[in-house]
Amino acid sequence: MSNRRIRIGIDTGGTFTDVVAFDEDSGELVTTKTPSTPGNPADGFIAGIEKILATIDADGSDITAVSHGTTVATNKLLEGKVEALGFITTEGYEFMLEIARQSVPDGYGNSYFWVKPDRIVPADRVRTVGGRLDFTGAEVRPFDEDAAVATARWFRDRGIATIAVCFLHAYANDDHELRMREILRREHPEAVVSISSEVLREYREYERAMTTLVDAAVKPNVSRYVTNISERLLNFTGNEIPFYVMKSNGGVLSADEVVHQPITTVLSGPAAGALGAALIAKVAGFPRILTCDGGGTSTDVSVVLDGEPTLTTEGTVGAYPSKIPMIDVVTVGAGGGSIAWLSPEGTLKVGPHSAGADPGPLCYGKGGTAPTITDAHVTLGRIPPHLLGGEIPLDVEAARAGIADLAGKLGVDFERCATGILEISAWNQANALRQVSVKRGLDVRDFMLTTFGGSGSLLACRLVDILDLAGVVVPPNPGNVSAFGLLTVDVKNDYVQTHVAKESAIDHAAVQAVLDTLTDRAREALAKEGFAAAEHEFHRTIDVRYVGQAYEVRVAAPEGGPEQEVDAAYVAQVAEAFHAEHRQLYGYDFRGDRDQQVEWVNLRVTGVGPITRPEIPTLAPAAGSVEDRAVRGTRPVCFDADQGYVDTPVIWRGDLGAGDTFTGPAIVEEFGSTIPVHPGFEVAVDDWANLVIRKSGDKETVR
């Protein structure tokens, strides 16, 4: 076939690679999945493209763009495999990483038992260089060129070729860092270097240093991975096509630019899923949702308000803080491959260890040795004895033997052990959902839960019970929502500059100058990505706090485009927005209190290059009853250990039409996922093919 325009989204997960193709002319959306290839993710990437093109009878010449979500940077940090990393900082500040922050996980009750995580760079690989700037960027002591040369040679002679540079107050003046980088290029030309003034132009030395170190740590891996994929893609298609990589902030960036900003990809996959789910739920009439993206290794949760996932700059990946704008995602080790095990005290635990894709759960028959969440589901009848519509058969007896052995050690019957595994997993997910909602002052009873990913919907009904949610929205092809999200994402770049000033003393002209400079940088980046000036969009936000507070709240600046003038009215609108947001987050504000001043801290500009989003297709009603049309049979399913197994209808989702309704117990199956509907719940199919699940007798099922 020729003269077609096909855009492809590919999300590479730990177990499966999800693929969505969008025909820009017909508007057709087609999805598929293929096993991931952890040894070389590029193999699974190309296999996914080949499979989807065969499905729609197209070839490589029809592809107009590919957008990709990857876990390369995330896995590098989660696994803690950071090697041969060096750090250069200001003389006298070599112990910045040891001092860090007094941030104790899980509350101060555990502080006596908490040990700070291992340093990302050993102490003996930290070198300092003389020279000093003050907080305004003025030079207090000149840059020590001789020490800089000696430092570059020291790293070169020891073969340390990945280096992060963070000098004091470089956010205000990057001169010393630029000179250090030039010396490194001259004296140690093979070094991969990240400087803080380009990674994070923001104050707080520890967070800026750590973010720069993380950027440097993942840069070689991300560069190799993206280059490999780009070359394989070129060989496959025979021509250069736009290749975008998903960023943590909810945008995409061309592969050529991503290698210079690798830290921006640390939440690449989860960000795409949150965006796809947000769009699907907003179209369906649910602007306030919690998302639950269940994969083979972990489950990612986030919150969406008015159709937009919330952002944070206080995120972490593994043990490492990364102070870049990212969608506020919390990850818990509760994926389909999470292992059930006994603690030394003899209690049942689930995760965070995972069997992954290889060897995988016991039922995969690939050498797994421990029972997992997937094994519990298949032995209880909640999922069929196969995956991907029958492409991957499952060994139910192997799963049963593993769980039976665990049940014997616990001294409980088989069903109580299997349902216990799932109950622990559900509570782990519920606690993650609380972190992004209740801890931020949100009432979860007002939220629908949007579940997706291969395993995301398996515990949906229990999450409604545990959290008292309004209900669940399960999109069609839920296993491919992250890949679909990649087709809905604009090109996006973030720029920040620290500018601390009390509201009463803000220099309007100085603030205007900083915002204009950041906007110019965003404009230049969008032009480099191929967007015409008329397409550029700019969004401004301000980090604001009350004087004396340690941390800030980000608020949107007054709308009016990049030409919006900073004046007294502008400042007053920012203050009013801050008071309202502070009250939402913390339950109080100091509006009208003259003794409690507002202080601006960081100025931010986001440049957006919009793309054409695929339309979400509607579903027509179907003739006849659900029982006659969509029920493919029954099987015994255990939803509750005390109730035992109940004969449960198995419904094929592809046979459902808009307006169909049915009640639990039921099992809804489709190619890439399964949705167990527990007794006491009812389901309605809306006009966009979503399954809307609520407790029987709750609010009307479809809005």
DSSP string, 81-112: ---SEEEEEETT-TTHHHH-----TT-GGGGG
User: Average pLDDT of 103-107?
Assistant: 55
**What is the number of alpha carbons within 13 Å of residue 672 lying toward its C-beta?**
29
* Least confident interval from 144-148, 412-416, 502-506, 527-531: 527-531
Asked whether residue 560 falls in the same domain as residue 648, the answer is: no
Q: How far apart are CA 657 and CA 65, in angstroms?
A: 32
Statement to judge: residues 181 and 99 lie in one domain? yes
Residues 578, 665, single domain; the answer is no
Question: Are 577 and 647 found together in one domain?
Answer: no
86/195 same-domain check: yes
pLDDT at 80 over 90: no
List all residues 6 or more positions away from 67 whose beta carbon is below 8 Å from its beta carbon.
7, 8, 9, 10, 244, 245, 246, 252, 486, 487, 489
**CB atoms closer than 10 angstroms to residue 346:** 9
| pLDDT range class, residue 81, cuts 50, 70, 90 | low
Report the distance separating Cα 400 and Cα 413, nearest Å.
12
216 and 90 inside one domain: yes
Dihedral of alpha carbons 464, 467, 470, 472, sign: negative
12 or 560, which is more confident: 12
Instruction: Give me the mean pLDDT over the 686-690 stretch.
Output: 95
Domain count, the chain: 4
Does residue 164 sit in the same domain as residue 32?
no
The tens digit of pLDDT for each residue in 497-541 reads 999 999 999 999 999 999 999 999 999 989 988 889 999 999 999
Say how far apart CA 408 and CA 530 lie, in whole Å.
63
Strand 666-669 with 644-652, pairing: parallel
| CATH code, domain carrying 579 | 3.30.1490
Distance, in Å, from the CA atom of 130 to the CA atom of 149, rounded to the nearest integer, reads 12
Residue 113 inside a domain? The answer is yes
Distance between CA 273 and CA 613 in Å, rounded?
15
Cβ–Cβ < 8 Å for 444, 290: yes
Nearest to 52 by CA among 29, 68, 27: 29
Is 555 within the bounds of a domain? yes
| Nearest by Cα to 559 from 538, 580, 543 | 538
* pLDDT surpassing 80 at residue 404: yes
CA angle 385, 391, 392 (to 5 degrees): 50
More confident residue, 670 or 100: 670
Residue with tokens 């967007």: 531
Residue 638: pLDDT band with limits 50, 70, 90: very high
Lowest pLDDT segment from 166-175, 232-241, 535-544: 232-241
Domain of residue 203, residue span: 80-221
Is the link from the previous residue into 352 a cis peptide, with omega within 30 of 0? yes
> For the CA atoms of the chain, what is the radius of gyration?
26
Query: Which token pair is 63?
Result: 């592809």
Q: Which of 171, 192, 221 is the last residue of a domain?
A: 221
At 469, is the secondary structure helix, strand, or coil?
A: coil
- Alpha-carbon 532 to chain mean position: 29
CATH of the domain at 9: 3.30.420.40
- What lies within 8 Å, CB to CB, of 443 at 6+ separation is none
Domain-located, residue 427:
no
Residue 691: the pLDDT is 97
Question: Do 116 and 61 have their domain in common?
Answer: no
Q: Are residues 217 and 98 in the same domain?
A: yes
Q: What is the rounded distance in angstroms from the CA atom of residue 61 to the CA atom of residue 47?
A: 16
User: Same structural domain for residues 592 and 634?
Assistant: no
pTM of the model: 0.81
The pLDDT confidence band at residue 142, using thresholds 50, 70 and 90, is very high
Q: What are the CA-CA distances from residue 596 to residues 428, 546, 572, 584 (Å)?
A: 40, 7, 15, 18
Q: Does residue 140 form part of some domain?
A: yes
Task: Looking at the structure, tell me whether residues 495 and 595 fall in a common domain.
Answer: yes
